[in-house]
Structure 1
């Protein structure tokens, strides 16, 4: 299902909170795994898709921390600082535009427009990418 369809019920609602799951491994930079946006008490999870490069957006509870032994750990934190989702907390979601792969036309992302900021997210090369405003040019997305 397209992100815009999943998030249709959140349009017009205020973003109450944003939580982010990071892969934390000693000696390496933390890596974004997934994140959750909560509107009206409903949390929407943003994940790398199980099939090819298709962003999964689903209604689900916020994740939890997990120990992965020698592979590090998964740590859930409230979005803060330079996390793109932190800039939208407290703002109303105005519209959601689906983002598509430029060369295949698959729905690989979404651009969430809030009152004063846009949050873009995409599943590109099996990694979750996010940004305030546009995604970097290396992430090949386009609006339809």
Structure 2
């Protein structure tokens, strides 16, 4: 291993990234002018899942993700991807709940209720990474 291969790991410790603040007023302004179910601002995302819908199966590459359930009752489906837990895991998130999704973990957000579900997602890194998959354990989906 050469010194140069360590630079990407050492550099953030020496020169940390700038602090990023996301203002509630900025999110509300985007929400008011946006018909999409997802509002993005840097690494903070407000996910508004309409009734009876789900996201595509995806992961966030090397990024950690923290979910805060703000309102509604949604389901987080994850693929543990190991021999100890070979089946998909469904976990209900109620208002006030938190979930941590490790890097590379396949997951899907599901709203099978008749009410909106609002989750606040926070990811490591300045810009969110989303890798859509063809199915659980599937290949990366081609961009259309």
Please classify the TM superposition score into its range, dividing by the shorter chain length.
Answer: under 0.3
TM-score, normalised on structure 1?
A: 0.23
TM-score, normalised on structure 2?
A: 0.23
Greater strand fraction, Structure 1 or Structure 2 = 1
Larger radius of gyration: 2
Greater helix fraction, Structure 1 or Structure 2 = 2
